[in-house]
């Protein structure tokens, strides 16, 4: 079993966030409490594999190893009565800062469910970079393959209305600087994993290298095609499971079709299994000629931010 290491960037950095909210904004519903630890890079590491503070997989004596690639951000959340119109200054009654990013959220969810998770990504060279790395480690996520770029850390501004619906504006920062070489340095961990999970936040060349490495090693690869951006078409032939939401699925189509037909067309392009999240309408999925739908569990939405990330993780 590999040791749980620190990213080299964080070894030389210090960050104290004892007065800040240090929780992953994308997965608040899974948190038992909001953590506000003093995050200092020289402190001892959290428990290693096999002694996770989170739940283990029922019936599995060994924790499955999952390799996740994607973004790691600072999230700034503003709770509003309604999204402001252009030219209007809106006073926000509540504001929160936390950690997020699709990839980081998915890694944290998997770790909280008991998996042994390694995260591949980029953070900034500012004070937020080591804070993100430390919080990932607090959550039980390995950060051996997190490196820093000479850029501000990726940031997301989240406008949340009273119904729990959100509008999100992001600045990718160093997240788009992940390279093929970064992936190759993580080859042993990719090959030793039970599953690879990635989003389209990872640049195309690095994403192709990641999925090729997984395919050659016989490791199942899951793609969450978000955000809906252009990516190499050959990527889909390397995907085992594709998990878009409805708008992301339809964005992959060449012409307008319904969700069921879009699922069939997407499977024809490579993924053996397609699972589409439909919000309050549940999910549609297919791993054969048939398309099935499952209803959602009825809930009152408080904050929809990161719901898809939690589903993928």
Domains of the chain, start order: 8-312 (3.40.1190.20)
The pLDDT profile of the chain, 313 residues, written as one tens digit per residue, is 333 445 544 544 433 333 334 445 555 433 333 332 222 222 222 333 333 444 444 455 578 999 999 999 999 999 888 877 888 888 888 888 999 999 999 999 999 999 999 999 999 999 999 999 999 999 999 999 999 999 999 998 988 888 878 888 889 999 999 999 999 999 999 999 999 999 999 999 999 999 999 999 999 999 999 988 888 889 999 999 999 999 999 999 988 899 999 999 999 999 999 999 999 899 999 998 899 999 998 888 777 778 888 889 8
The two three-digit tokens of residue 86, written as one number: 């252009």
Catalytic residue (choose from 126, 182, 240, 309): 309
Q: Quote the pLDDT of residue 34.
A: 30
Give catalytic status of residue 309 as yes or no. yes
Residue that is written with structure tokens 């190499």 in the block:
232
pTM of the predicted model, to two decimals? 0.78
Question: Dihedral sign, CA of 237, 243, 246, 247?
Answer: negative
Dist. CA 265–CA 251, nearest whole Å = 12
Helices within the chain (DSSP H only): 8-11, 102-112, 128-138, 180-185, 187-191, 204-217, 246-251, 259-268, 307-312
**What is the SS3 assignment for 75-111?**
EEEEECCCCCCCCCCCCCCEEEEEEECHHHHHHHHHH
């Amino acid at each position: 079993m590999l040791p749980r290491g620190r990213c080299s960037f964080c070894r030389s950095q210090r960050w104290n966030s004892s007065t800040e909210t240090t929780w992953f904004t994308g997965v608040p519903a899974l948190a038992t409490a909001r953590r506000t630890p003093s995050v200092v890079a020289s402190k001892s590491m959290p428990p290693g594999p096999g002694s996770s503070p989170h739940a283990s997989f029922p019936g599995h004596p060994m924790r499955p190893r999952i390799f996740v690639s994607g973004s790691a951000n600072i999230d700034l959340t503003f709770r509003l009565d309604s999204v402001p119109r252009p030219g209007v200054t809106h006073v926000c009654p509540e504001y929160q800062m936390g950690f997020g990013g699709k990839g980081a959220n998915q890694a944290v969810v998997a770790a909280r469910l008991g998996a042994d998770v390694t995260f591949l990504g980029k953070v900034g060279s500012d004070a937020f970079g080591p804070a993100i790395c430390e919080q990932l480690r607090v959550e039980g996520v390995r950060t051996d393959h997190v490196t820093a770029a000479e850029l501000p850390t990726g940031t997301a501004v989240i406008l949340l209305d009273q119904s729990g619906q959100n509008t999100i504006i992001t600045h990718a920062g160093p997240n788009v600087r992940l390279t093929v070489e970064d992936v190759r340095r993580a080859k042993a961990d990719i090959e030793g994993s039970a599953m690879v999970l990635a989003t389209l936040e990872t640049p195309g060349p690095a994403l192709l290298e990641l999925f090729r490495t997984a395919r050659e090693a016989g490791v199942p690869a899951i793609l969450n095609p978000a955000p809906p951006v252009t990516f190499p078409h050959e990527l889909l032939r390397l995907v085992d499971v594709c998990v878009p939401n409805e708008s992301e699925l339809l964005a992959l189509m060449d012409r307008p079709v319904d969700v069921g037909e879009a699922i069939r067309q997407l499977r024809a392009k490579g993924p053996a299994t397609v699972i589409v999240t439909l919000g309050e309408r549940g999910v549609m999925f297919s791993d054969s000629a048939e398309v099935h739908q499952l209803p959602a569990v009825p809930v009152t939405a408080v904050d929809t931010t990161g719901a898809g990330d939690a589903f993928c993780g």
